[in-house]
Amino acid sequence: EAGVAQSPRYKIIEKRQSVAFWCNPISGHATLYWYQQILGQGPKLLIQFQNNGVVDDSQLPKDRFSAERLKGVDSTLKIQPAKLEDSAVYLCASSLASWGSTDTQYFGPGTRLTVL
Amino acid sequence: DAKTTQPNSMESNEEEPVHLPCNHSTISGTDYIHWYRQLPSQGPEYVIHGLTSNVNNRMASLAIAEDRKSSTLILHRATLRDAAVYYCILSYSGNTPLVFGKGTRLSVIA
């Protein structure tokens, strides 16, 4: 079974530039998450999708971050404009999403963003 | 979200058992205890989970205290590949985001 795919793996941009990250979840997984992981900390949720609808985006800085999941499969996370504090690893995860069960979340390798 | 407390770091010799503790004194009756680990430069990966009873799988064992206020992840024979940050996480549903703390950084010495 193929895992969660993310691209690019690394990205370096200057502040105020735009950047986009792509995620392809495991086939059949209805729930998709984007997490941000700052160096030395655990991942923190940015947004959760159930199919192509947003379940939770309360921690997404909406003035600069946006995300979409068209057709309930692939997802794109965008930052525009980037700030220095956005330097982090952006992780995508997916799960089958069975309410009341203990679904495992499967994580991609992440995209390491450096903002100069 | 319910919180967990883990030591910042631990060290183990290769091929010896490792016991990674986690305190979760405010756990509710419906919270599952999950363990994930993150190897260097990789995304987190699932290790094991449990509710009340001890659990075993090919990667590790999970020992849960009778009052459920603490748990211990047991790696039976640590290898160099087990060097990672281990996260203990509480979650009441499979469809909710994971709330990560800082975890325990495990170093394995050859």
How many Å lie between the alpha carbon of A102 and the closest alpha carbon of chain B? 4
Q: A44 vs B44: CB contact, 8 Å cut-off?
A: no
A14 shares contact with chain B (CB less than 8 Å)? no
Question: Is the per-residue pLDDT at A100 higher than 80?
Answer: no
Lookup: tokens for A98: 């069975």
Q: Between the CA of residue B72 and those of A78, B20, B28, B104, what are the distances in Å? A: 39, 5, 18, 12
A115 shares contact with chain B (CB less than 8 Å)? no
Q: How far is CA A63 from the centre of its chain?
A: 17
DSSP 8-state code for residue B5: B
- As a whole number, mean pLDDT of residues A23-33 equals 94
pLDDT (tens digit per residue) in B73-100: 999 999 999 999 999 999 876 678 889 9
Can you tell me the distance from the alpha carbon of B53 to that of A71, in angstroms, rounded to the nearest whole number?
40
CB pairs under 8 A between A and B: 66
Can you tell me the distance from the alpha carbon of B15 to that of B26, in angstroms, rounded to the nearest whole number?
34
Residue with tokens 């503790």: B21
Indicate the residue of A35, A103, A106 with minimum beta-carbon distance to B95.
A103
pLDDT band per the 50, 70, 90 thresholds, residue A99: low
Q: How far is CA A46 from the centre of its chain?
A: 7
pLDDT (tens digit per residue) in A44-90: 999 999 988 999 999 999 999 999 998 889 999 999 999 999 999 99
